[in-house]
Structure 1
Amino acid sequence: MPDFQRRSSPLAAWFAAAIGVLIVYACLHPFTGWRDTGLPVFDYLRQPWPRYYTLTDLTVNVLGIVPFSFALVAAMPSRLSRGGAVLAAILTTLMLSLSVETLQNFLPSRVPSNLDVGCNTLGGILGALAGGRWSGRLFDPRSGLTRWRKRRIVPGHVGEIGLVVLGLWLLTLLTPESLLFATGDLRRLFDLPTPLQFNPTRFVKVEAAIAASQLVAVGLTARCIMRDFTPWPIVLLVLLGLGAKTLASATFFAPGDPLHWATPGGQIGLGAGAALLGLCLLLPARSHAMLAGMALLVGTALVNLAPENPFLPSDAALIRQGNFLNFHGLTQLTASLWPFIAFAYLGLLGASSAREPHPPLRGR
């Protein structure tokens, strides 16, 4: 695509911003114990090659930044040429990496590394070059994705934010030790005690209710951003969610058990939630946002009341290692805050629909 035809994509900008915020949190998690060591803050850049590193850490540091710089190219102002957008994305990625690594000087649980900066920059270069080659086709108004978005998703920033919210929901399912579809657990953030003692029969019921209510909430949220109803995007979203949960179970459990989430309560909740969601989708479209909000409230309340699950022996030693700590902190934060983000988004969607002379939601 010639340079003069390059257009800035708001959807790419929202994705780049969301990824950037998550990267900052992951690299600075757990945000405790800040102190000044008295050493020069950029001294780590002059240090020799680190003695201890793993191929996994190097790979994660390279690949983890690629989506950010890829989306950033398409998000750059239209006045920049394609080459200028690629260069600006690379420089932005470098500055982001330098900033978070330098801030790690002040965290006792973090060790800044020039190798991490180098890997992040390499990932930024790869992502930006790929973005210069393909992001225009992906986010261009004539691309299949953009045409699908305009045809299926409500217009403007409201639709774009909705896609980001659903993308964050998929990220929450990569938290290995949580119950199926469970989000909104504030006990982790504030170190609160568990209010209920474990009881096998009660636990199965609570687990099933959590999975069912959260499935209804995310399914109806997805429906709210759709112009016309078709079940297949919702089915695909749920299948992607189950795939993410399976990946987390296979990666973090010792020994790996990809279907560890398929407990009796999880299976009951999945079936009941699918049935309830189907019934809710038969109701008028104007009721979906309200029902989604109610399901979010019920699911979040149950998550914070549920006792600890003694049958999820996640590999805590693995989670504490290097980039697994970054990733685990990122997914935990996203899982804790997602229902509140979704609830705020439903309010924004309702306010936007109220201003529309012809509401975008049509049919059932």
Structure 2
Amino acid sequence: MHKTSAWPLSGAYALLVVYASLYPFSGWRNQQIPPWDFLFAGWPKYWTGFDLAANVVGYIPLGFLLALSFIRRGNVRYVASHPNLAAIAVAVLAGTGLSLVMEGFQNYLPSRVASNVDFGLNVFGTLLGAVTATALEVGGAIDHWSRFRERWFIPEARGALVLLALWPFALLFPAAVPLGLGQVLERLEEAIAEWLLETPFLEWLPMREIELQPLVPAAELLCVALGAFIPCLLGYTILRSVGRRAVFAVVAVALGIAVTALSAALSWGPTHAWAWLSLPVRIGLLFGLVLAMLMLAVPRRGCAAMLLMALVVHLSVLNQAPASAYFTDTLQAWEQGRFIRFHGLAQWLGWLWPYVVLVYVLLRLSRREATPTIPA
């Protein structure tokens, strides 16, 4: 890892924390109380184990990235004798400051509640992340990851690795079709129509006038298969060998299944974690894995071209179907329930991930690649 490569990641994650803390950014009001008043309040009346865990987990990556960024700067003035302790201290101070500001701003949002418990858990999460990063650095795990990355991936793999790391988080947001990311056309039409309401331009909008029918089982099977196939192809564009591609494909499909089950459990309860695994879905997952295996020996540029076609077909078929009323109720539970901390961020990931991959693939195909062959 480059000495300063973690700084942009920590900054980007801090922005994500800001987004998740202040979503939905509407209904601001002044309660005529100091923004720091929550520090002296009692134990909150309403809380859940999920809320406590979320406040800790949400700040662990921030502490991890901040501490790692500080450590990787090398010889730092005034703290060269204790750089690891200094990294933990800097990360915790930064996380504490960010959490304090976010909780203060939440006083002005009607849908959010500032809490000293949340603040304390955020600080604890930052500390856990910072200590973890320091322990991994001292134990040499970060250097092991750097060597692992060099063996498995091509040098220009950073963009694809970031997209692959975001894919499981995008799957956490409920999807109308399992692994079906990018279904935005219906909501986009509704938003544009609402925006153009009471204007003559509404008649110009090419709205689909026919009543859309739900996806037939064959179309659902195709969407699931392509949803599993797409991340495999994305990995193939940066992996160095056929054997590593095979391992990656199996792990990617298994991870997609596990995260989709987790999303269902969070949305409908643990007893319904596997309710989405219907016959068309099971066949689609198997078909997607078979397609991935058939592409093992294809050169990277060929995989990128196939990925482009798979994305276009997947998004085209997926956006021809409307969201069911049951699916709409699920989204409302995320918007208004305990998932409001993650709803805005998760929905944008679920909507935009395939389109960002589409842009990334187009950029990859527009460049020359020096080593198109894949060793066995």
Instruction: With the length of structure 1 as denominator, give the TM-score of the two structures.
Output: 0.83
The structural deviation recorded for 1:243 is 0.8
Choose from 180, 184, 187 the match for 1:186.
Answer: 184
Match of 2:218 among 202, 205, 211: 205
Cα distance change on mapping 1:140 and 1:270 into 2, 3 Å = closer
* Distance (whole Å) between structure 1 residues aligned to residue 158 and residue 249 of structure 2: 17
Deviation at 1:191, TM superposition (A): 7.1
Taking the aligned partners of 1:159 and 1:166, their CA distance within structure 2 comes to 10
Which residue is 1:3 aligned to? none
Distance apart, 1:317 and its partner CA:
4.6
Instruction: Give the 3 Å change call, closer, same or farther, for CA 359–52 of structure 1 in structure 2.
Output: same
2:3 aligned with 1:8: yes
Q: Deviations over 1:66-121 (max 9, x none)?
A: 13212332222223411221111112211222233233234322222222111101
Q: Secondary structure at the match of 2:179?
A: coil
Counterpart for residue 149 of structure 2: 149
The residue number in structure 1 matching 2:95 is 93
Provide, for residues 34-84 of structure 1, a one-character-per-residue CA deviation record: whole Å limited to 9, x for no partner. 455554433333434333323332222123311321233222222341122
Residue matched to 1:237: 252
Which secondary structure state, in structure 1, belongs to the residue aligned with residue 306 of structure 2? helix
Letter in 1 for 2:88: V
In structure 2, relative to structure 1, the CA distance for the partners of 1:300 and 1:121 (3 Å cut) is same
- What is the CA distance between 1:265 and its match in structure 2? 3.0
The aligned counterpart of 2:58 is 64
Aligned length: 349
Cα distance, 1:326 vs. partner? 1.3
Q: For 1:121, which of 91, 104, 123 is the aligned residue? A: 123
SS at match of 1:51: coil
Q: Contact 1:224 / 1:289 at 8 angstroms: preserved in 2?
A: yes
Please list the CA deviations of residues 21-40 of structure 1 after superposition, one character each: whole Å capped at 9, or x if unmatched: 43332222223334555544
Question: 1:223, CA displacement in angstroms?
Answer: 0.6
Percent of pairs with identical residues: 31
User: What's the CA shift for 1:239?
Assistant: 0.7
Q: Distance in 1 between matches of 2:26 and 2:189?
A: 13
- Measured after TM superposition, the shift of residue 362 of structure 1 is 3.1
3-state SS in 2 of match to 1:99: helix
- Conserved? CA contact 1:154–1:360, under 8 Å: no
1:344 maps to 359
1-structure distance, mates of 2:182, 2:140: 33
Unaligned 5+ residue runs, structure 2? 77-82, 192-206
The 5-angstrom pairing of residues 273-292 of structure 1 reads 273-292=288-307
Q: Deviation at 1:241?
A: 1.4
**Residues 241 and 16 of structure 1, relative CA distance in 2, 3 Å threshold:** farther
Preserved CA contact (<8 Å) 1:253 1:315: no
Structure 2 distance, partners of 1:256, 1:293, is 37
RMSD value over aligned CA atoms?
3.1
Give distance in 1, aligned partners of 2:286 and 2:348. 28
Letter in 2 for 1:339: P
State the distance in 1 between where 2:353 and 2:150 align.
25
Quick one: structure 1 residues 348 and 227, their matched pair in 2 at CA, closer, same or farther if it must change by over 3 Å? farther
Aligned equivalent of 1:55: 49
Which residue number in structure 1 is paired with residue 262 of structure 2?
A: 247
Label 1:286 to 1:318 Cα distance change in 2 as closer, same or farther (>3 A).
closer
1:137-176 matched pairs, under 5 angstroms = 137=139, 140-141=142-143, 143=144, 145-155=145-155, 158-176=156-174
Which among 250, 261, 269 is matched to residue 276 of structure 2?
261
- Tell me by how many angstroms 1:126 deviates: 1.9
SS state at 1:330 partner: helix
Contact kept, 8 Å, 2:238 with 2:300, in 1: the verdict is no
Q: Deviations over 1:244-301 (max 9, x none)?
A: 1112222321573221221233223223322333333443332111221221222223
